[in-house]
């Protein structure tokens, strides 16, 4: 696979949508891409835990955590599980923790920030639905491309020989 460079993708494919530049790269994989799978939850990572326990098959888990900065919904144990199960990355509209371990894990992780407190586990949330944050609505099956420049979303997989 060619290198993922989001400025080059934007130049070659002006139709892609760009998420607002509010995310920080925490993962051991600085650039990643894959088909979108979604979770919508708020301060409860039950559905995130459920998703990363399943085969990722190169997908990116997009989590609409409501932008909460009061706890983390993703940390070292879930990141290790996601990497082992073949997920390409996680985009968290919320916080992560265990950032030193995340940086060493072979997984793309972008989030709003870090927070040391873990989330609740009440079994709440939804999966595989459209989510809207950072100025973009993301649907399961779209393709997400991320690097240190930003995050872009396309309706389908793009040729990366841009």
7-57 tens-digit pLDDT: 999 999 999 999 999 999 999 999 999 999 999 999 999 999 999 999 999
The mean pLDDT value of the chain amounts to 96
Q: What are the structure tokens assigned to 144, written together? A: 């997400």
User: Are the C-beta atoms of 4 and 82 separated by less than 8 Å?
Assistant: no
- Residue 161: pLDDT over 80: no
75 labelled ligand-binding? yes
Summarize pLDDT for 100-109 with one digit per residue, the tens: 999 999 999 9
Q: β-pairing, 32-40 with 60-64?
A: parallel
77 labelled ligand-binding? yes
- Residue 71: pLDDT over 70: yes
92 labelled ligand-binding? no
Give the global pTM. Answer: 0.96
28 Cβ contact list (under 8 Å, min separation 6): 102, 103, 104, 105, 106, 107
Q: What gap in Å lies between CA 113 and CA 97, rounded to an integer?
A: 8
Q: For residue 88, how many C-alpha atoms fall within 13 Å in the half-sphere facing its CB?
A: 18
Residue 126: what pLDDT? 98
How many other C-beta atoms lie within 10 A of the C-beta of residue 77?
Answer: 12
Residue 160: what pLDDT? 78
For residues 118-153, one letter each, b for 16 or more C-beta atoms within 10 angstroms of the residue's C-beta and e for the rest, the string is: ebeeeeebeeeeebebbebebeeebbbbbbebbbbb
Residue 132: what pLDDT? 98
Residue 2: what pLDDT? 54
Q: What is the mean pLDDT of residues 119-124?
A: 94
Q: How sure is the predictor about 1, in pLDDT bands with cuts at 50, 70 and 90?
A: very low
Q: What is the mean pLDDT of residues 131-157?
A: 98
- Residue 98: pLDDT over 50: yes
Name the CATH superfamily housing domain 6-149.
Ribonuclease E inhibitor RraA/RraA-like (3.50.30.40)
Q: What is the mean pLDDT of residues 84-88?
A: 98
Handedness of CA 105, 162, 148, 154 (dihedral sign): negative
Q: What gap in Å lies between CA 19 and CA 128, rounded to an integer?
A: 19
Q: What is the dihedral of CA 110, 77, 29, 87, to 10 degrees?
A: -90
78 labelled ligand-binding? yes
**Domain boundaries defined on the chain:** 6-149
- Residue 64: pLDDT over 50: yes
């Amino acid at each position: 696979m060619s290198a993922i460079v989001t400025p080059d993708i934007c130049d070659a494919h002006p139709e892609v949508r760009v998420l607002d530049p509010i995310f920080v790269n925490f993962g051991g994989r600085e650039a990643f891409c894959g088909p979108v799978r979604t979770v919508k939850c708020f301060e409860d990572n039950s559905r995130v835990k459920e998703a990363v326990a399943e085969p990722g098959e190169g997908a990116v888990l997009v989590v609409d955590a409501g932008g909460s900065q009061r706890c983390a919904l993703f940390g070292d144990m879930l990141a290790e599980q996601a990497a082992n199960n073949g997920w390409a990355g996680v985009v968290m509209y919320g916080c992560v923790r265990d950032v030193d371990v995340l940086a060493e894990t072979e997984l793309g992780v972008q989030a709003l920030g870090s927070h040391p407190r873990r989330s609740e586990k009440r079994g709440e949330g939804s999966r595989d639905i459209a989510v809207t944050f950072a100025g973009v609505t993301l649907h399961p099956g779209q393709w997400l491309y991320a690097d240190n420049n930003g995050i872009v979303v396309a309706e389908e997989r793009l040729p990366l020989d841009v």
